[in-house]
Structure 1
Amino acid sequence: MKKATTLLLVTAISLLSFQTYAQTFGIKGGLNLSNVLAKDDDDTYSDDFKMNPGFHIGPTVEFPLNEMVSFESGLLLSTKGFKSSEKETDMGDTWEYEVKLNAVYIDIPLTAKTTFDVGGAKIYGIFGPYVGIGLSGKEKEEYTQDGETETYEADIEWGNDEDEDHLKRLDYGLTAGAGIIVNNIQLGLSYDLGLANISAYTGDGTKIKNKVLRFSVGYMFGE
């Protein structure tokens, strides 16, 4: 936790320094559709997982390297996780089981952005790494049988202890996306591919990696 917090503070201070020289800054937010890759040496358990809807929001900064290429970053409050459900009927008895993981991160994208003028608008593409720090989260399980539902909730325990913790705080990966800019309004679609194994337990080849599809709306000041 101490190393992750230090990394977050150093990056945030760097971004504030960048903003001083930035041509544009802004704010963006939108819809997250998150999932995970969950597997070990025996099986890939996430094949039947479903995307979990959530959100992202936060400030962004951008400064030009030349007329077409710029560097873009920010501090985004972002949700990640997954949901999974099963339903079976046996001898007329139906039961349902659903599990949902909701985690909240601070994500710091560090992307190159290429912009092209198209008539009265601009189109852009972004690519680069991101760093994320896990802040909080919950796991919720529901079991329903014969119309009766039992619910279980637990907070995510963050850390590297395989016996005590669930997920590691530090996440990182690659971001790719594209969008359109009309006046000061920016509409974008991007995908975050997690490269970090965030599972605290790594025995038997256990791996958990985040995946997030984002739909964003942003407003750029001084564009």
Structure 2
Amino acid sequence: MKVGVVTFPGSLDDVDAQRAVRLGGHEAVALWHGDHDLRGVDAIVLPGGFSYGDYLRCGAISRFSPVMTEVVEAAGRGMPVLGICNGFQILCESHLLPGALIRNQRQKFLCVDQRLRIESTRTPWTAAYAEGQEVVIALKNGEGSFVADEETLDRLEGEGQVVARYLGDNPNGSLRDIAGISNERGNVVGLMPHPEHSVEELCGTGTDGLGFFALATLATEVFA
């Protein structure tokens, strides 16, 4: 598969995401925020970082980038899209996912090895895991607290759209310990932890994040 990784001004983890895609067995394609061409990719990753310096709100400017017009349309057709950290924020700002990410409860940037539980495997990004599987993945954010109204939270829980949940101490105050969610169709996933930093034994937290880049089951076959 060809997996596009979008670079915005201020992206920090785009190269890391490209490497993770390759380690997952796929071709990484660099996409630029100012382009309307998705270059024939089969899936898209919006990486972490501080796009446009996090001015206004995290992801608030990036949602208007030319490439996001194409990403929104592709997601509507069922293309798998993964937003990591800042990418998660962009997906929420683009209304591809509900809710919002706000300042951490303790008002500090954090960087930790975080335990997670995979709650849903019905997305192409989590199909390589087992439901209920516990993993350790790097987490680093300053605005990582997921919030939504109670009705939205109940719907996410009831429809199985909570993809991953924090275990142990809640690191950033996310409601209901939510670390990642999907849209109703399951092809769009937002994840606050950084699986691209957990794909090698040599550095990071090990290889627990590699499953997010396996894309073991094509969305067009199962999730469309």
TM superposition score normalised by structure 1: 0.24
Identify the structure with the greater helix proportion.
2
TM superposition score normalised by structure 2: 0.24
Instruction: Give the number of the structure whose alpha-carbon radius of gyration is greater.
Output: 1
